[in-house]
Structure 1
Amino acid sequence: MVPRTRPTRSALVAGVVALVALVAVTAAGCGDTGGLRGAGSTPTAISPAKLWPDLRPASSPAWPYDEANTETVKGITVRGDDIHEADPVAVVRAEIAAHPDDYGGKGAYHATVARMGDCGAGGAGGGARCPLLKAYYRDLTGDGRDDMTLGFRLYPTNQTAVRVYTVEHHKLVQVLADNDAITGVELAGRAVIVRSPAGITGYEYRTTWAWDPQQRAMVFSRDEFLRTGRRTGRHKHATRTPAPTLSPSASLR
């Protein structure tokens, strides 16, 4: 492939002259007065203003958004390293068993356990009260094999749990766990985009989790506050209450 080269200044000038001549000839043929028209004044470029240049560095690092923990799912066998062979119901039940403080007794999601009993083999659709949603499969880690994205409702908080699993060394590994009030989830390339309602009508949060090959996990990549429609009512300051988390490995935000 021949690399592109930047045209010389003389070539640019010649090109502009030729373009002006072509416009003039075309205008004469069409009966138009022709002529180049200005697009208006160009706004003056303003460089960023650096505030507080003498500010001392913080004594502690910023919140480690780019750090993540993974968790091997115990009790789940992945035949032939094919993640499609993993039963989504069994995977969620394994998580419940691994985190009794969150799902048992007076745990934050204790009611989820009872509803999981309504899930049949194979996952969502096993019962009217089954909290498990449809499983989606896509290669998010870039190793050429499908990974599994699960979602299930959390009761009594009415939040949604989003989980991503991959297979490493014949074991099922959880590489993303996020709980939030969710209005939608999207898969884009090697990223998971979670959409959540905001405290202001017509806006939403969009949090992006992207695969990090060094940490072997989906890590926080971007958090956006975006307008989605017409805003109604008086303006209010948006507040976002952190959702209850499972274990350190399950809380990546």
Structure 2
Amino acid sequence: MPRPVRTVLAAAAVAVLLATAAGCGDAGGLQGAGATPTATSPARLWPGLTPASSPAWNYDDGESEVMKGVSVPGGDVRRVDPVAVVRAEIARHPDDYAGAKASYRETAERMADCGRTPPDADCPVLKAYYRDLTGDGHDELTLGFRLLPGNQTAVRVYTVQGGRLVQVMANDDAVSGVELAGHSVIIHAPSDLADYEYRFQWTWDPDQRVMLLTHDEMLHIGRSPSPAPSASPSPTPSATPSPSPSPSAS
């Protein structure tokens, strides 16, 4: 039977190790690593606390939005015009982008600079990226655009469902970096604490058919480089001391 064979082999291996350690003395022999800390289970606090009846914070996940008015030629998301997608969002949310009191009125105004050849630097729409984030073998569209005025970036993910373009993730933040990994979008955002940053991970959920916020954490990214000491001015030739005479010359 397998288990007795493994037991005999393990016993033989231990015997060989002990014999080797005894022959080698202290150099290279087995050494104790010290006391092992006792494992403790999590302590549950306030077991009689009444569970909350509603979420404490709205993370804007769990919802999808069909982008009406945006065509998907041949059902291929790569043939969708990213500028048309952003214009469709602006049209659907006039309170955010239109009017004198709109938060991101400048974004809507600069959309007139998009779609030119060569691309205009004032266009708020960033480069589009394509990757299969749902695992169905087809690419999704990851799109970003600047929210102006201010220093925030809108990050969106779109997929094609039933021949229609559907937004499955939306996040607005002061973004310092974005990564795609597996079925996830990872957003890095600056923190008020030096040497730390926030990291938000949105992952595709096949049951909800949207991307959910699965990780929200603060990470230590290392110490900030300290400023280099200012260099002392080199002495002028007149201030350079003359060398002392050698003993043979004195």
- Partner of 1:54 in structure 2? 48
Choose from 102, 112, 117 the match for 1:117.
Answer: 112
**1:107 is the counterpart of 2:102:** yes
CA distance in 1, matches of 2:52, 2:85: 42
CA distance in 1, matches of 2:17, 2:111: 73
CA distance in 2, matches of 1:35, 1:232: 42
**1:204 is the counterpart of 2:175:** no
- Partner of 2:229 in structure 1? none
CA distance in 2, matches of 1:71, 1:57: 31
Q: TM-score, normalised by structure 1?
A: 0.79
Gap regions ≥5 residues in structure 2: 227-250
CA distance in 1, matches of 2:216, 2:162: 32
- Partner of 1:213 in structure 2? 206
- Partner of 2:221 in structure 1? 228
Indicate if the aligned counterparts of 1:163 and 1:176 stay in contact, CA closer than 8 A.
yes
Q: Tell me which amino acid in the other structure corresponds to 1:81.
A: G
Distance 1:73 1:33, change over 3 A: closer
Q: 1:16 Cα shift?
A: 4.3
Distance 1:49 1:22, change over 3 A: closer
**1:185 is the counterpart of 2:178:** yes
Distance 1:34 1:20, change over 3 A: farther
CA distance in 2, matches of 1:82, 1:103: 29
Distance 1:190 1:121, change over 3 A: farther
Q: Tell me which amino acid in the other structure corresponds to 1:167.
A: V
Indicate if the aligned counterparts of 2:97 and 2:108 stay in contact, CA closer than 8 A.
yes
**1:75 is the counterpart of 2:75:** no
- Partner of 1:147 in structure 2? 140
Distance 1:67 1:100, change over 3 A: closer
CA distance in 1, matches of 2:95, 2:110: 17
Q: Tell me which amino acid in the other structure corresponds to 2:71.
A: T
- Partner of 1:36 in structure 2? 30
Distance 1:56 1:6, change over 3 A: farther
- Partner of 2:121 in structure 1? 128
Q: TM-score, normalised by structure 2?
A: 0.80
Gap regions ≥5 residues in structure 1: 234-253
Distance 1:163 1:188, change over 3 A: same
Post-superposition CA distance 1:195-214 (Å, at most 9, x none): 10011010000001111112
Aligned residues: CA RMSD? 2.8
- Partner of 1:158 in structure 2? 151
Distance 1:15 1:92, change over 3 A: same
Q: 1:63 Cα shift?
A: 4.0
Bigger RCO (CA 8 Å, 6+ sep): 1
Work out which of the two has the higher radius of gyration on C-alpha atoms and give 1 or 2: 2
CA distance in 1, matches of 2:29, 2:72: 72
CA distance in 2, matches of 1:213, 1:13: 47
CA distance in 2, matches of 1:88, 1:140: 18
Indicate if the aligned counterparts of 2:96 and 2:104 stay in contact, CA closer than 8 A.
yes
Indicate if the aligned counterparts of 2:61 and 2:211 stay in contact, CA closer than 8 A.
no
- Partner of 1:21 in structure 2? 16
